[in-house]
Amino acid sequence: MHALLHKLFCGYISPSPAFGEFFTAGDLARLKRYWPFPLSGIGGHRMGAWLGYEEVLKRELFYFTFLRNPLKRYLSHLNWQMHIKKRFGSPEEFIADDYFDNFQCYRIAGSRHAEKACAMLEERFAFTGLLEEYDRSLLLWRHALGRPDLDLRYQRENVKDYGAQTIRREDLTDRLWKKIEEKNAEDMALYEWVRRELFPRQEQAYGPGLEEDLVAFRQMNEGYSFPLSARWKRKASNVLLGRILQPFLGA
């Protein structure tokens, strides 16, 4: 999604985790002071719709996010932390760390409770997509944004394959799996609410023709690759932001 946003919006940036646990309004104000180009979008895991970015930018913002099945997301995070970040030596160590519990609620609302995350999506977010319905979500997102001209074609990126090292459901005992379910119960409640209530509302708002548009989009997207210009723009903005401005700003 980041790569697609970089392609679509020249002024889109994605601050790295070096800014801290959450990218605050103060971080945005400092960055805006030195960023040499107009901003048309900011994204990343550490954004927060409750942090007051509107006060810095002096305009309303279009907040959106994508949810993933919480149990699949948790396993993906487990593998990332074990095999890429090398922070944990076993699934048991990762599961024992409470920081990763109900992580989607936490990132959406700054709270690990589904009720608060649902309220945040209802009150502050203009769109919520589902990773399991990614292509459909893109069409709904474009409709909610009111930009039918946007070229949504994309290619998959950052697809990790850990080979024989991959930890799957069948590699875990029933006891560990039950623990994972317990540690993601709030995320599951959030996900099911979006899947049953919020997402269908967005489909209804799209109106007739969604299924036909989805078939047509998938045909157009088959074999698509991001243009080199979009790739270089993304790399250049990431270098400017991550290697020059963030250290300069003290992030």
pLDDT in tens for each of the 251 residues of the chain?
989 999 999 889 887 766 678 989 998 998 888 888 888 999 988 899 999 999 999 999 999 999 999 999 999 999 999 999 999 999 999 999 999 999 999 999 999 999 999 999 999 999 999 999 999 999 999 999 999 999 999 998 877 888 889 999 999 999 999 999 999 999 999 999 999 999 999 999 999 999 999 999 999 999 999 999 888 888 888 888 877 887 777 65
Note the pTM of the prediction, 2 decimals: 0.93
Three-state secondary structure call for residue 250: coil
Q: How far apart are CA 236 and CA 144, in angstroms?
A: 29
Q: Whole-angstrom Cα distance, residue 182 to residue 174?
A: 12
State the number of CA atoms in the 13 A half-sphere of 107 facing the CB: 21
